[in-house]
Chain A
Amino acid sequence: MTAALIETHKLTAHYGDAQALFGIDFKLHAGEVVAIIGANGAGKSTFLKTLTGLVKCARDAVRLRGRPVGSLAPGAIVRQGLAMVPEGRRLFPSLSVEENLLMGAFAGRRGPWDLRRLFVLFPILEQKRRSPATELSGGQQQMVAIGRALMGNPDVLLCDELSLGLAPIVIKEIYDAVPALTREGMSLVIVEQDVGVAQRVSQRVVCFQEGRVSLEGASDALTREQISRAYFGV
């Protein structure tokens, strides 16, 4: 197998005195889609925040294309090809849909994604481009959040709880966009509460429990029983 795009080695993270991650070893290869599952508080979102520099960690604990990025500021990591769709979407409320999308391009990375191409992927956003982003429906806001991350032309897209609070039909519509991303060679790490969705959209599933990896395997090989044990620790 080729060298890992992202690699973490004994990754730990803390919030003040509280330790949230305990020695996570993780690899993501080019073009791969990995789903991270786990109960609330398992450390999934903290893991993504650590990869993007929002939560600090040791310099060598995270490597991007072999280079240590653990101590870099979020902006520097984004410029090296990581982008994140944060939990709860967190759009800029004082910016319109188009302005939110343009913010994603601030890092200045060149690539296939621009406004025109995004509007092909999510046509509704073109109709709503002048609307304040927070006036859109939850699903449309999620499309803006994904589009904003894509505008940075990342090599790796980190998605935190894309389906949270959305109707099943909207979730399907959003995940239907994943093949269009991986066709370009983009890698995805998707944090997902819905195990069925996680298995369907990914090639590999990693289960977190209390800040540790409790299970890892090919998405189509893991059984419900294995996942339940790893998920709940019983």
Chain B
Amino acid sequence: MLDTLIQGLLLGGLYALFALGLSLMFGVMRLTNTAQGDFIVLAAFAAIALAPLVGSQSVPAVVLLLPVAFGFGYALQRWVLNGTLGRDPLPSLVVTFGLSIVIQNGLLELFSADPRSLDSAGFNTRSVALGEGVAVGALPLAIFGTALLCTVALQALFDRTAIGRAFRAVSDDREIAELMGLDANRIYALATAIAFIVIALAGSLQAMRTTVAPSDGPLLLLFAFEAVIIGGMGSFWGTFAGAMVLGLAQQIGFRLDPGWGIWFGHLVFLAVLVVRPQGLFPRTRG
């Protein structure tokens, strides 16, 4: 049972990384990025493509990817997604859905349908002993640590910095925030740029952990979406907690029957939607 709990929490760490960017973009702009999963896969393939340029090493490839992802996210929001924002959520849903199709087909064209992975130089097979008879994988532990660090950093950014205040202000009331001298379009672009840093980390770590294929995006979006909804929209700690719940539910399902894991997670998601549609910890930030 302890093993199931630990594996569930570690899997939850990965889902938290999938979901934090979605939570950030929704929290600041009320924008549901339906291409979230495909952007994670795109980041994974970008890391795989960058690796040969830096001696086939994964860490330098990820370090190289982060500023690229930041710039890509900024430009995407500033010149594409900002044009879709407004009272009607449909334009942003349609545009991100379109982007998801473009990314999937673009990756198919460039990389074929073959699954690929990012070489972690054996890190994905190492384990760390936690005590008598209990050992966990070093990579899942690193993924969990990264997710925890990202959650703490995003929460601190929102709660304790001037740019965090600006994020919350434009989220609360864009018109009044602009009256204070803020350029909402730039603030939104910065929020998406930060979300893409997390997306880049999520994609790279996913590619180290397992193989990725161009068609993986929708399933990753589903896990991200479930984690955000379980935790409560627009809340980083809520998203983290939601991801833990989802990871645990899937691991318990896998333990009951190897075929039950994924749908057991969906079952918990549906149960939360019915019992507490606002999520377990809505808007804990701020």
Contacts and interface: CB of A to CB of B under 8 A. Distances in A.
B180 A78 contact: yes
A103 B183 contact: no
B199 to A, nearest CB: 24
B233 to A, nearest CB: 13
Contacts of A73: 178, 183
A152 B285 CA distance: 26
Contacts of A92: 168-169, 172-173, 176-177
Contacts of B177: 92, 103
B283 A75 contact: no
Given A92-B168, A94-B286, A95-B286, A79 B181 contact: yes
Contacts, number: 64
B169 A107 contact: no
Given A94-B286, A95-B286, A106-B166, A152 B180 contact: yes
B2 interface: no
Given A95-B286, A99-B165, A102-B165, A86 B179 contact: yes
Which of B172, B175, B180 has most chain A Cβ within 10 Å?
Answer: B180
Given A95-B165, A95-B286, A102-B165, A54 B183 contact: no
Given A102-B165, A103-B165, A106-B166, A95 B181 contact: no
Contacts of A93: 172
A94 B168 contact: yes
Nearest to A89: B176
Given A74-B175, A94-B286, 10 more contacts: A74-B179, A75-B181, A83-B179, A86-B176, A92-B173, A95-B286, A106-B162, A106-B181, A106-B182, A108-B181
Interface of B: 162, 165-166, 168-169, 171-173, 175-183, 283, 285-286
6 contacts: A78-B179, A78-B180, A92-B176, A94-B171, A103-B180, A107-B180
